Chains A and B, each alone.
Chain A
Amino acid sequence: MKDYLFLIVSICLFSICSFAQEQQDNEEEDTSTFQEVLNNLTGSFESNAQWYLNDKKTGEFDDEDHVRANSYLRLNYYFLKNFSAGVQVESYVPKSLLNYDRLFDKEIDLAQYYVNYKTEKIDATAGYFYEQYGSGLVLRLWEDTALGLNNSIRGGNVVYRPFDFLEVKGLYGNQRRSLDVSDSDIMAANLEFDFNKALSITTFNELSVGLSYVNRSEQFKSTSEDINRISVPKRVGAYSARINLGYKNLYANAEYVYKEKDVRLNNIRPNSVTYSENKLFDGNALLLNLGYSRRGFGINYTFRRLENMSFFSQREDKNLINNPTQRATLNYIPSLTKQHDYTLANIYLYQSQPGLYLENYESPRVKAGEIGNQIDVFYNIPKGTVLGGKYGTKISANLAYWASLNVKVSDPDGIPFFSSDNLTYTSDFLNFKNKNYTDFNVEVKKKWSKNWSSIFTYINLFYNTDYLVEANGTSVNAWIGVAESTVKFGKGKSLRFEGQHLSTEDDAKNWVGGTVEYFFSSRFGLYFNDSYNYEDSPIVENSKIHFFNVGGSFTKGATRASLNYGRQRGGLICVGGVCRPVSKNSGVTLNLSTSF
C-alpha cells in the first residue's frame, strides 16, 4: 500500500511542479505569501521505472517484483538572504532496479537533508554535502543516479575564502553508504593558494597550488589467526599536493598523492572478506597533464600512474565482487579514455585498475595498479578551404594506452604460491609493457548544407580480457566504424540515422548496429536502435540475439518523459567510466524528470 501511496504522491508532485512552472511562466509577479514561498522553493523529481518481462531469448525473469522504480525527490528552500535548507527523499519500490546496489533496500527513505549558510567568504553546510579536493584523487563526494551511486558525507563542511587568493576547506562526518552511513569517521582539509592573485603576477595566466589531507578512522576487526600478524592502524590518511600552471597558450597541471599504509584484502571471494595481516602496503598516485590550444586547434596530453589507490570508507567495500557499484568510495579514479556514445563502441570498455588485489584462481596474479597515458587533438579545418568547405570541418582524435604496473612478487613462505600472508611485492616506476587497453579513434564532423550534417567515427581498440575480466588467456583486437547523418526539415522536425559495424576475429566476433530517430517537433521524438552479434562464434552469450530498443521522448521546458521497450545486452555495462556486470534482461522503461 505504501508503495502505491508514494507513487501517487510522486505523480501529484510531478504535475504540481509542471503546473507551478507554467504559472510562473505565464503570470505576472504575484505578491501573495504563497507565491513568495514558491519563489524560494526549488527542487526536482526524477523517477526511473522498469517493468521486467519474460523473454524467450533472454530467459524468464525469475526474480520477484517485475515492476520496480528508483525515484528521487529533492526540495531546497532559500531563506533569510544567506540560508538554504533541503531534503532528498529516495524511494525504491518495491525494490531497487536490477543491477543497482542491493543495499538500497527501503521503499521510502529521507535519504539526505542539509542546512547551508553562504556569504561571499563563508560557505558552511550541516547535514549531507558534496565536495571535491583537487582532481578527486584523494576525495570526491558526488551523486550519479544512473549508476546508483551517492557518496556524500553526513556531518559538517566549511569553505572559507578570506582573500581572493586563498581558500581553506575542512570537513568532518560519516560517509553515506547506500541508505545508511559507514562505520568510520572521515576528517579532511584542503587549501588552495593562487600566486597570480597574491603577488599580482601577470606573466602567467594561472599559477596556483593546492594541498589536501583526508583521514579515515575505522576500527579494524581481525580475521587472521596467524601469530605473525601485526597491528593494523585505525587511522589511514592520504595526502595530495598539486600545481596548476598556465602560460600564453600552454597549460600544465600535476598532482601527487601518497596514501598511508593499510592492510590488504586476502584472496577475493564472493560474500566473504578476509585480510592478510602480516604486511601493510601504502599507495600513491601521479597525474600529469599538458596542453596547448589556440583558436581552431587544441591538444592535450595526460599521464597517470596509480598504485594501491582504492580508498573506501569501509575496508570491506574494497571487495568489488560484493560491491560492484563502488558504494562509499572516497576518491574518484575514472578511466582516462574517450567516453564513446555509440552502442557498439561500448562493448569493450576500459575500467581503471587502481587497487591492490591478489587473484589465486588458476594462475595466481598480483594486481597493484595501472600506468598509462592519452592524447587528444581537436582541429577545425577553416571555412572556405578545400577540405573545410562552406561550413568548416571539425576533426578530433584520441589515443589512449593503459598498462598494469609491472610487479615482482616475493613470498618467503614459498609454495603454495600466494597462499601466504607474508607475500610482498615491488613495482617498477615507469614500465608500460603489460598492455591492457589501447584505443585509437578519429571523429570527423561535417556540415554539408544548412540542414544536413554527418559524423564519421573510426575506432581501433585492444582489450586484454585475460587481465580485465577473467584469467582465460584471451584478448580482443577490434575496429569499429560508425556513420551518422542528421537532416533538418524545419520547425523542429529532423531525421537522424546511424549505422555501426564492429569487426573482430576474437571473442564473440562481428556485430552490426544502427539507429533511426525522428523528431516530430523539438518536443516529441521516436527512435529505434538495434545491435546484433550476427557471426557464429565460440562465445554464445550475446550471439544471434537482437538487442533492440524502441521508444519515444517528450520534453517541455525543464520536464522530460521517455518511454521505451527493449532488450539489454548482458556483460559489463559502463556509464561515466564506472563499469558493472549486468545480466541480460528485457522490459519497458519509463523515465520522468522535472526541475523547478
Chain B
Amino acid sequence: MKTFFFIFIFSFSLNIFSQDQILDTSLKTLDGETTNLKEVAKNNELIIVSLWATWCVPCKNELDAINDVYDDWKEETNVELIAVSVDDSRTVNRVKPLVNGKAWDYTILLDTNNDLKRALNTTTVPYTLILKNGEIVYRHTGYTPGSEDTLYEELKKHL
C-alpha cells in the first residue's frame, strides 16, 4: 500500500496522459472487431460520442431526435456521431436490430462490460461528449426533450 502511494505521488509529470489512455479503451464493432475511440475518431475533426443503451428511453429519444437533423448537422459542421452502447449481455443482442430498425446512421460501438463507461467515470446514461481533434472538450449527462439544440450550439463553438 505504501509503495503504491509512493509511486502515485512521485509520478507527477508535465504531460497529459489521461485522455489518451481513456480514448484507448477497447470497444467492439458490431462485427466483433476490437477498436477504440481514438482509432474511430482519427479521420474526423469533430466527433460526438454518445453513451446509450437499448433499455434507456431518454438515450433513444436523444438519438432519434439527432437522427432527424443529423444530415443538416453533418453538412454544416462535418461532425460524426459515434453511439457507444453500454448494454450488457442481457440486452446487447438487441443493439444491431434496434439500430437498423430505427434506421440510425451512426457508427455503433459496443462497451459490453462498461470499460469505457468506467474510464469516463460515467454514473448514468445518456452521457454525451464532444471530441475535437481527439480531445474531450465537452461533457454532458442526461437528455431532456429539445436539448439536442443545446448540444448543437455547443458543437458550433468548436468549429
Contacts and interface: CB of A to CB of B under 8 A. Distances in A.
Contact of B4 (A21, A31, A85, A557): A85
A360 interface: no
Contacts of A40: 13, 15-18
Nearest to A396: B101
B42 interface: no
A44 B52 CA distance: 19
Nearest to B12: A37
Contact of A380 (B11, B89, B102): B102
Contacts of B15: 36, 40, 81
A394 interface: yes
Interface residues of A, number: 101
Interface in A3-46: 21, 25, 31, 33, 36-37, 39-44, 46
Interface in B103-159: 103, 112-115, 118-124, 127, 138-142, 144-147, 149-150
A145 interface: yes
Contact of B124 (A336, A492, A560): A560
A293 B11 contact: no
A336 B101 contact: no
A596 B100 contact: no
Nearest to A520: B144
A214 to B, nearest CB: 15
Contacts of A559: 141
Nearest to B26: A123
B102 A131 contact: no
Given A85-B7, A378-B100, A140 B89 contact: yes
A494 B118 CA distance: 31
A147 B116 CA distance: 20
Given A302-B93, A490-B146, A522-B147, A558 B139 contact: yes
Contacts of A79: 11-13, 17
B93 A300 contact: yes
A380 B4 CA distance: 54
A493 to B, nearest CB: 7
A555 B100 CA distance: 31
B89 A142 contact: no
Given A296-B103, A576-B90, A595-B121, A36 B12 contact: yes
A380 B101 contact: yes
A142 B113 contact: yes
A77 B8 contact: yes
A492 B149 contact: yes
Interface string B8-43: 100111111110111010100001111000000000
Given A394-B101, A576-B90, A560 B7 contact: no
Given A85-B8, A525-B144, A46 B123 contact: yes
Given A46-B123, A519-B145, A558-B139, A131 B113 contact: yes
Contacts of B12: 33, 36-37, 79
B96 interface: yes
Given A42-B22, A130-B115, A380-B101, A206 B31 contact: yes
Contact of A33 (B14, B24, B127, B141): B14
A84 interface: yes
Contacts of B31: 205-206, 246
A477 interface: no
B96 A298 contact: yes
Contacts of B74: none
B11 A83 contact: yes
B17 A142 contact: no
B75 interface: no
A485 B17 CA distance: 45
A275 interface: no
Given A291-B96, A496-B145, A136 B121 contact: no
B94 to A, nearest CB: 6
A142 B88 contact: yes
A563 to B, nearest CB: 15
Contacts of B68: 391, 447
A359 B102 CA distance: 46
Contact of B94 (A300, A490, A522): A300
A130 B88 CA distance: 13
A488 interface: yes
Contacts of A376: 93-94, 97-98
A167 interface: yes
A299 interface: yes
B101 A130 contact: no
Interface string A374-392: 0011111000000000011
A391 B65 CA distance: 11
Interface centre among B119, B122, B146, B150 (most CB of A within 10 A): B146
B146 A494 contact: yes
A558 B121 CA distance: 10
Contacts of A336: 90
A339 B8 contact: no
A589 to B, nearest CB: 15
Given A37-B12, A130-B113, A492 B97 contact: no
Contacts of B22: 42
Q: Which 8 A-B pairs have the closest CB atoms?
A: A378-B101, A298-B97, A334-B90, A44-B121, A522-B147, A595-B121, A494-B145, A79-B11
29 contacts: A37-B12, A39-B16, A40-B16, A42-B121, A76-B119, A79-B17, A132-B112, A136-B113, A137-B89, A140-B89, A164-B34, A194-B33, A205-B31, A291-B97, A293-B99, A295-B100, A298-B96, A298-B99, A334-B89, A378-B101, A396-B98, A445-B64, A494-B144, A522-B147, A557-B139, A557-B141, A560-B141, A576-B90, A577-B90
Given A145-B123, A380-B101, A490-B146, 15 more contacts: A25-B138, A40-B17, A135-B89, A142-B88, A142-B113, A142-B114, A206-B31, A246-B31, A291-B97, A292-B97, A339-B91, A376-B94, A391-B68, A394-B101, A394-B102
